[in-house]
Amino acid sequence: MSRRSLLGFLFAALALLCIGCATPVRPSGGPVDSTPPVVVEASPAEGATNVSADRLVLTFSERLDPASGSRALTITPEFATPPEVRVSGRRLTVLFPDTLAAEATYVVTLGTELRDEHGVALPRPITVAFATGATLDRGRISGRLRDPATGAGTAGLVVAAYPLSDTLGTALPDPRGAHPLVYRTEAATDGTFRLDYLREGPYFVVAFEDRNRNRQVDEGELFAAPPAPFVLARADTTRIAPLRPLDLFATALDTIPPQLRRVRALSNRRLALVFDEPVRLVDRTTAWTLADSATGQPRPLHAVYQTPDVPTQMLVLAEAPLTAPVRLTSQGAVADSSGNEVTLDRVVTPSTPADTVTTRFVDFLPPRRSPADSVLLLRPDARPGVRFSQPLDSTAFRTRVTVTGPSGALAYTTTTDDGVRYDLHLVDAPRIFRIEVAGADTTFVRRFAMPGPDALGALLGRVNAPDGAAVLLAAYPEQGLPFTTRAQADGAFALTNLPPGSYRLRLVLDANGNGRWDGGRLTPYEPPEPLRWLAEPVRVRARWETEVESNELLIGSSGD
């Protein structure tokens, strides 16, 4: 064989070897796979009875991701030892570690972590059930997990049903611990869930986030408490009234105050306090003290403030340069979104560089929705405002900010929660006015307009609630914050000065009178305050008072 022929033979053999050893991948081009896998065959079959198998074999419509099989599996009743899960191509096999219990219905659930080989996950769990006895349990509990602030479905949380021996006040199970019999599923992408093949009877039904996958409720995780201590699971038949879906609203019970991670000296006047979670400024003045750490001599504070771009940070500005270590203290001046307050007591060594930060104008408030807006139309309940990079004293503020109407300068007062965003309260505001802010080398101008009464509408109605119950109502526009009111003692309410548009109505029975919805507790159990979203939006028209149908306005014992 010639040298050229030999080289040709070797190249051909090498090419064949590479082809044989190549890793199979999805061919390039063509449509992207977006179809989740489905079960096409089960052994034992779905709904089978008198089963004595040592394994469950599920065949899917396409190849599976092997790593996702065991993470997605839940079996009720549980075995003492977790079963082995094997994934090969389109087949998923569950090997039972022990003999099946007699006269039991086994419920096998594969959650939304199960994926095909292209990473497409299940949109909702798959459930397969079989019985070791002659009959299959047919009880069902269904519902939807929702966001209380929007009414939209909340996905990804575990829904667990704990069997109860009766409905007569038996001690409820603690979801923070392990239990021998718990039925579990997951909320689908739209928040809906369904627990099938339950033994008929009462259950304590909860939902929780399970971030660490220990199948127990842990501190800080989202959860949803049921509206009553038990829910009845029963077969869905035509002999009795249809099963009513269970509404669960996700919330968090945060009882841990924010922790101060560090204090940074930015200059000889400015300190940055960094926390482990977003915080808000409760008190900018009286709750703060700054003093020499050795002598206790007070050091005057110029300002305490927070920029909205960094919600985990507070800034402290001294009136004069600090030349020695200082003790910074505050009590109840900083809190998280749940109201947990922080107690601060920290000695800080100031930095030596001089403070050279200058005050800059940042923007008008509310922010412009579109660059094309020549005049910003305010909501009836909104105030115009301005934002600076750091606090201004009253004299400097009025030197830089002027408000002008058709007849000349307008008087105003200011309020601020964080020290940089200022609301302007105008006295006798005209229909159209403008705000001017003097910058270093330019003047910033924004024109505002207040809506006239002919451009607004109202929603009226009467809430049907238990006698004397306080009901909070909120009308949510398609964009922006809701308009709120409280129903009168007889249930009558009026949401007035609403811009035209579509609104979603939310009702809350404020049982504890704190002016907000509370989501209850799992342990010890406390029910959430009744909350209801109207099924359909309500349209508001200018110059019209729209009456909301009374049969839609049911809450508490009358409707929930």
Domain ranges of the chain: 47-249, 263-348, 361-449, 454-558
Q: Which pLDDT belongs to residue 202?
A: 94
Q: Which residue has the tokens 């050091």?
A: 299
Gap between the Cα atoms of 556 and 472, Å rounded: 12
pLDDT band at 199 (very low <50, low <70, confident <90, very high): very high
User: Quick check: 243 pLDDT over 90?
Assistant: no
User: Quick check: 24 pLDDT over 60?
Assistant: no
Sign, CA dihedral 489-493-494-499, equals positive
Q: Which residue has the tokens 């038996």?
A: 170
Which residue type sits at 530? P
In what helix (H) or strand (E) does residue 40 lie, and over which residues does it extend? Answer: strand 39-43
pTM of the model: 0.79
Paired sense of beta strands 55-60 and 91-95, if any: antiparallel
Q: Which pLDDT belongs to residue 554?
A: 85
- Reduce the DSSP state of residue 400 to 3 states and report it: helix
User: Quick check: 14 pLDDT over 50?
Assistant: no
CATH 2.60.40.1220, applies to 263-348: yes
Identical fold, 47-249 and 454-558: yes
**372-384 residue pLDDT tens:** 557 888 999 899 9
Q: Which CATH architecture has domain 47-249?
A: Sandwich (2.60)
User: Quick check: 166 pLDDT over 90?
Assistant: no
User: Quick check: 3 pLDDT over 50?
Assistant: no
Share of the chain above pLDDT 70, in %: 91
Span 345-365, average pLDDT:
94
DSSP secondary structure string for all residues of 224-288: E--SSS-EEEEE--TTSPPPPPEEEE-B----SPP-EEEEEE-SSSEEEEEESS--EES-SSTTE
**Which CATH code of 2.30.30, 3.90.660, 2.60.40, 1.10.10 fits the domain covering 361-449?**
2.60.40
**457-470 residue pLDDT tens:** 999 999 998 877 89
Main-chain phi, psi angles of 441, to 5 degrees: -135, 10
CATH superfamily ID and name for 454-558: Carboxypeptidase-like, regulatory domain (2.60.40.1120)
Whether 419 contacts 385, CB under 8 Å: no
Q: Which pLDDT belongs to residue 167?
A: 76
Q: How far is CA 151 from the centre of its chain?
A: 11
